[in-house]
Amino acid sequence: PARSAAEGLGERISFEELVALIEGRLRAAGACEPVARELALNCASCERDGTLSHGVFRVRGYVDSLGRGWADGCAEPEVERAGGAFVRVDGRNGFSQPALAAAREEIAEAVREAGAAVVAIRDAHHFSALWPELESFARSGLVALGMIAGGKAAVIPPGARQRVFGTNPFGFATPAADADPVVFDFATSTMSHGDLQLHRNEGRSVPPGTGVDGDGEDCMDPAVILAEGGLSPFGGHKGALLSLMIETLAAGLTGAGFTVEIDAEAPAGAHTFRTGQLYIVIDPKRGSGDGFPGRVAELVGMLREAGMSRMPGDRRYARRRRAEVEGIPVTDDIRALRGEVSG
Ligand code: NDP
């Protein structure tokens, strides 16, 4: 169904109700309890914070993957310490968030011992935003970086004649004294695949430079970019090289397939992709003692004073505060989900 925010109409749902609703739908699709719970928390957090392209909009994709047996909703991830700071996780064809949750204790142990952890997840489907995982590390005082080899070949770098990269996102989170963590998270393409689909569904064109048609010419029609062409990396060759790094680390180094390999094996119509994810988690105390969050706050204060008034996370945290008071706006997607769960 078309997405239309119900703001103004006044209908609201609480975060807990939304989590229960999504969890119920995923359980009905065959996901086991801990998996359904992790995915529902992630999805509801995105919806609450206004990241609608990764909120309830995604439930259908999860249900589809579970229904086809393409992803295992009851996978039990295998966590091993491959060396001092190196944590390897085999997601066993399950989802990435439960795989990371299963590794949390091992990661905390590695950070205590070594001051940092490299977390390499393979054989796990990631179908959401990266910031929820990254923000939770920052809330426990750690700096975190994350990247995903996207799984769906969607990006044509300058000079290439075919889609070779996923929209391969990269994210960063750091604690800041007396403030919410600073968190950013973006696709290395000009636009995320979800947003491109939303543009197509809503009949909107995309700005010049977003992507190319089948002949490699600049194209503003999202339907053509999706069907015949591809998205461009952001920042020309620089975004393309970041994406190359993400394929190297999140796929090559974790033991997952490269985007083109995964896309080639996915069944027609697959929504979630069995990819690799790499996280680097750092205890900042090992670098600059207890003063680090204060230094970040100083940096942010200086930037705001210089006129960079919009910091990453500002929009999401504002939406979250509002949702905590007023509830989450009920969209058509949420109504449809309610119908499926009660019917
Ligand atoms: P956006 O462009 O929506 O946002 C990028 C980041 O920049 C956000 O952290 C945002 O903060 C911040 N930001 C936005 N505008 C400004 C500004 N003017 N000044 C300072 N900061 C700003 O990201 P994308 O559309 O590229 O990606 C959307 C999501 O898609 C990401 O969460 C990504 O993880 C996800 N994704 C997932 C994939 C997967 O395989 N699982 C593949 C590709 C993308 P704020 O949050 O406050 O708006």
**Active-site residue list:** 53-54, 195
Q: What is the reported pLDDT for 332?
A: 92
- What is the structure's pLDDT at 8? 54
Q: What is the pTM of this model?
A: 0.94
Cα 80 to middle of ligand 1, angstroms:
31
Distance of CA 133 from the midpoint of ligand 1 (Å): 14
C-beta 246 within 6 A of ligand 1: no
Residues 6+ apart with CB under 8 A from 38: 95, 97, 98, 101
Q: Is 192 in the pocket of ligand 1 (CB under 6 A)?
A: yes
Say if residues 3 and 332 touch (Cβ distance below 8 Å): yes
312 pocket-lining for ligand 1 (C-beta < 6 Å): yes
Which atom of ligand 1 lies closest to the CA of 311? 20
Of ligand 1's atoms, which has the minimum distance to the CA of residue 166?
A: 42
Q: What is the pLDDT of residue 341?
A: 85
What pLDDT score was predicted for residue 4?
45
At residue 342, the pLDDT reads: 82
Are 145 and 183 a contacting pair, CB within 8 Å? no
Q: Which helix (H) or strand (E) holds 113?
A: helix 96-114
48 pocket-lining for ligand 1 (C-beta < 6 Å): no
Question: How far, in Å, is the centroid of ligand 1 from the Cα of 43?
Answer: 15
Residue 316, ligand 1, Cβ within 6 A: yes
CA 132 to chain centre: 8
Give the per-residue pLDDT at 78: 98
> What separation in Å is there between the alpha carbon of 177 and the centre of ligand 1?
23
* pLDDT for the residue 60: 94
Q: Is 57 in the pocket of ligand 1 (CB under 6 A)?
A: no
Number of C-beta neighbours around residue 145 at 10 A: 17
What ipTM was assigned to the predicted interfaces of this complex? 0.96
Residue 6 is predicted with a pLDDT of: 44
The protein residue whose alpha carbon is closest to atom 34 in ligand 1 is: 129
Helix (H, G, I), strand (E, B), or coil: what is residue 145? strand
Q: Average pLDDT for consecutive 10-residue bins of the chain (343 residues)?
A: 49 97 97 98 97 91 95 98 97 98 98 98 96 97 96 94 97 98 97 90 96 96 97 97 98 97 90 95 96 98 96 97 96 92 79
Distance 122 CA to ligand 1 centre (A): 23
